[in-house]
């Protein structure tokens, strides 16, 4: 039978590998949409200038641009534009940026367009 110290040591050794398996939280200005279809519509509206629209904080009909803390999830459609390739990505919003720093919130699911690295067209 294992003793409590042996169990605690075993749990401590497993903790780093479990923690590294979790996606990292990102703090960034992104477009936030309620559905994947809304995100695709935003991409269509700002064709070939998605990053410029996000940098300029240009809200869409059903989307808005904000600085948030989020955990990226499942990617669906890829959108290839002249400026870059983007993936419609499900995200879990876990914080919002305020003048006093990042305010943690209860997780909320949304969709965004994440620019894919080294995949400009």
17-67 pLDDT per residue, tens:
444 455 688 899 999 999 999 999 999 898 878 888 889 998 988 999 999
Answer yes or no: is 37 within a domain: yes
- Phi-psi domain of 91 (left: phi exceeds 0; alpha: psi -120 through 50; beta: other): beta
To the question of pTM greater than 0.85 for the whole model, the response is no
Instruction: Pick the closest to residue 68 from 115, 40, 104, 43 (CA basis).
Output: 104
Answer yes or no: is 93 within a domain: yes
Answer yes or no: is 59 within a domain: yes
Answer yes or no: is 106 within a domain: yes
Range of the domain at 87: 23-115
Distance CA 116, CA 84 (A): 7
Instruction: Pick the closest to residue 94 from 112, 116, 75, 72 (CA basis).
Output: 72
Residue 81's pLDDT band (cuts 50, 70, 90): confident
Quote the number of domains for the chain. Answer: 1
Answer yes or no: is 48 within a domain: yes
Is the confidence at residue 8, as pLDDT, over 50? no
Contact yes or no for 39/88 (Cβ under 8 A):
yes
Answer yes or no: is 66 within a domain: yes
């Amino acid at each position: 039978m294992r003793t409590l110290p042996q169990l605690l040591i075993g749990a401590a050794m497993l903790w780093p590998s479990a923690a590294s398996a979790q996606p990292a939280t990102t703090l960034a200005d992104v477009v936030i949409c309620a559905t994947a279809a809304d995100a695709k519509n935003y991409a269509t509206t700002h064709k070939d200038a998605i990053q410029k629209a996000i940098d300029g904080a240009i809200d869409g009909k059903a989307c808005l641009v904000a600085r948030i803390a989020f955990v990226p999830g499942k990617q669906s459609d890829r959108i290839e534009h002249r400026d870059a390739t983007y993936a419609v990505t499900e995200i879990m919003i876990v914080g919002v940026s305020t003048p006093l720093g990042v305010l943690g919130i209860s997780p909320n699911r949304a969709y965004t367009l994440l620019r894919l690295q080294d995949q400009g067209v």
